[in-house]
Amino acid sequence: MNTTIIDGKSTAERVRNELRTAIEDLKQAGHTPGLAVVLVGEDPASRVYVNSKVKACEELGIYSQKWALPAQTSQEELLRLIDQLNRDERIHGILVQSPPPPHIDEAAVVLSIDPRKDVDGFHPVNVAKLVLEDSSGFVPCTPLGCMELLKQYGVSTQGKHAVIIGRSMIVGKPMAHLLMSKAANATVTIAHSRTHDLAGLCRTADILVAAVGRPGLVTAPFIKPGAVVLDVGINRVEDASRPRGYRIVGDVEFDSVAPLCSAITPVPGGVGPMTIAMLMANTVKACRQITARG
């Protein structure tokens, strides 16, 4: 099989280039898109994610605020900050890095964000808009990035059978809604940890999305020859040959699966780079929508 390796890095760069023009247009009209990123606690991975989001803003000329709050920040203090950001006219997007410390009620935090500024797409209003196919809503960045990859690589979803492994609110469920929408018209099956004969089900997929968090779960017997495979998984596996002592792999056993596919995303360098690019896109969209209302 002549397999296309779907390049998330260059596709994300293309998205960023389109955004540069959109941001310039907004600035010409007197509006600078603004994103507030809130981190509670010291989780090292979250710190890295937050820093890369702020850096992405700086590179595009998006105004950003980084709020790094101590782990003992109370729920009330956090909600007060979100209320302040909801009312801050320089801020069009608000993101609270997940997961917060255990004493914080994450659902209450999500609910407190103005849905018009909920660029993560987690607020129930935006979940409803996704289901209703109302394009004014915000869609979670990772599935949005997956759809952009399919679009940029000319993968038709019309009438195709898409199987998604994973049913989280962040990836699996929104991905299912995007693929079954009238814009994409795929026939969608969602699999999860209780699914029987996962390999057999996946082998019926024209498009297979793995969003599980289990390194190498998807192997050659899962693949219908010619399928398109999107690997969302980000897993650390020990690797003594690497200076850090680990390497990042996806949910798909790339070496055995890739030769069977018509197209596949690698990890790293596939879906991952798209997530932050789509966050930037959502922030620009929020700015456009908020400022258009005056």
Catalytic residues: 53, 97, 120
Q: Please give the single-letter amino acid code of residue 129.
A: K
> Quick check: 209 and 146 in contact, CB under 8 A?
yes
Output Rg (C-alpha) for the chain, integer angstroms: 19
* The only residue of 11, 112, 126, 142 in contact with ligand NDP, by rule CB under 6 A: 142
Region 149-168 residues binding ligand NDP, contact defined as CB under 6 A = 165-168
Q: What is the smallest separation between the CB atom of 1 and ligand NDP, expressed in angstroms?
A: 24
Q: Is 38 in the site for ligand NDP (CB under 6 A)?
A: no
Query: Hey, CA dihedral for 121, 123, 124, 129, is it positive or negative?
Result: negative
> Least CB distance from residue 233 to ligand NDP, whole Å?
4
Candidates 103-111, 237-245, 268-276, 277-285; binding stretch for ligand NDP (CB under 6 A) = 268-276
The closest alpha carbon to 49, from 59, 37, 61, belongs to 37
Q: Could you tell me the smallest distance in angstroms from the CB atom of residue 271 to ligand NDP?
A: 4
Q: How far is the CB of 16 from ligand NDP (least distance, A)?
A: 16
Provide the token pair at 98. 């997940």
Q: Contact letters (x/-) for ligand NDP, 163-202, by CB under 6 A? A: --xxxx-xxx------------------xxxxx--x----
Supply φ then ψ for residue 203, to 5 degrees. Answer: -70, -10
Under the criterion CB under 6 A, does residue 139 sit at the interface with ligand NDP? no
CB atoms within 10 A of CB 277: 25
Closest residue to ligand NDP in the complex (CB): 168
Residue corresponding to tokens 């400022």: 291
Number of residues that bind ligand NDP (CB under 6 A): 26
Token pair for 267: 């990890």
Angstrom distance (rounded) from CA 33 to CA 198? 43
Contact positions toward ligand NDP, by CB under 6 A?
A: 142, 165-168, 170-172, 191-195, 198, 211-214, 217, 232-235, 271-272, 275
